[in-house]
Amino acid sequence: MSSLSTAEERVPVVTASAVREFASGGYRGTTIADVARDARISPAYVFKLFPSKERLFVAALADCFRQIVETLSMGADEAEDTSSDGILDAMGGAYAELISDRSLLMLQVHAQSVANIPEIGQALRLGMASVVRLAKSRSGASDDAVQRFVAYGQLCHLIVTTGIDDVPDEWASILSAGIRHPR
């Protein structure tokens, strides 16, 4: 493995470490030292790249949404059914596969819990805007259909994070009916 020597080369490494660490420990429970340890660099160098914990979290969240948008685009490209619903369904399937490792899902959940921090709230809104705009433009679906698409995605998050799909009760079956998410 080659040694990274420039900030430009290290930023993606640190960002990927930040995604993993913040997904695991959340914003409040993760330190710059945790991210630095995962990235195998010093905390001081992380601060050189990202002058605050908020900026590091925002970079991780931006990378998360970049991956989501890329995945949704690929899902749309690969849709066998090119109707609006077919494209949204293919995008949803691609997203479900993307979050099967849970890091990106958990990062979004943690971001929602600290959206009152201005920089993080703004980054979360920008990420959601990119998803909504992509779903609308690629599918040509109605606003209501795009809203349902995003709502089902959020419901999927809830089902996965709370383990609802493992609950053998009628209420749980009602919530999880038709929602797919690889384990």
Question: pLDDT tens for residues 122-143?
Answer: 999 999 999 999 999 999 999 9
15 phi/psi in degrees, rounded to 5: -60, -45
Contact 179, 159 (CB under 8 A): yes
Length of the chain: 183
- Other CB atoms within 10 A of residue 3 CB: 5
Separation of alpha carbons 156 and 168, rounded Å: 17
- Give the H or E element holding residue 131: helix 118-139
- pLDDT, residue 166, reads 87
Reply yes or no on whether the pLDDT at 183 is more than 80. Answer: no
- pLDDT, residue 180, reads 65
pTM of the predicted structure, to 2 decimals: 0.90
Tell me the per-residue pLDDT of 148-171, one tens digit each, with 9 for 90 and over. 999 988 998 888 888 898 899 999
Reply yes or no on whether the pLDDT at 8 is more than 90. Answer: no
Quote the distance between the C-alpha of residue 87 and its chain's center.
20
- pLDDT, residue 9, reads 86
Of 88, 138, 172, give the one whose Cα is nearest residue 96. Answer: 88
148 phi/psi in degrees, rounded to 5: -60, -40
Q: What is the CATH number of domain 7-176?
A: 1.10.357.10
Reply yes or no on whether the pLDDT at 1 is more than 50. Answer: no
Grade residue 84 by pLDDT with cuts at 50, 70 and 90.
very high
CA distances from 134 to 35, 102, 122, 152 (A): 31, 22, 18, 16
Residues 6+ apart with CB under 8 A from 80: 86, 90
Grade residue 182 by pLDDT with cuts at 50, 70 and 90.
low
Residue 110, CA atoms < 13 Å, CB-side half-sphere: 25
Tell me the per-residue pLDDT of 9-58, one tens digit each, with 9 for 90 and over. 899 999 999 999 999 999 999 999 999 999 999 999 999 999 999 999 99
List the domain boundaries for the chain: 7-176
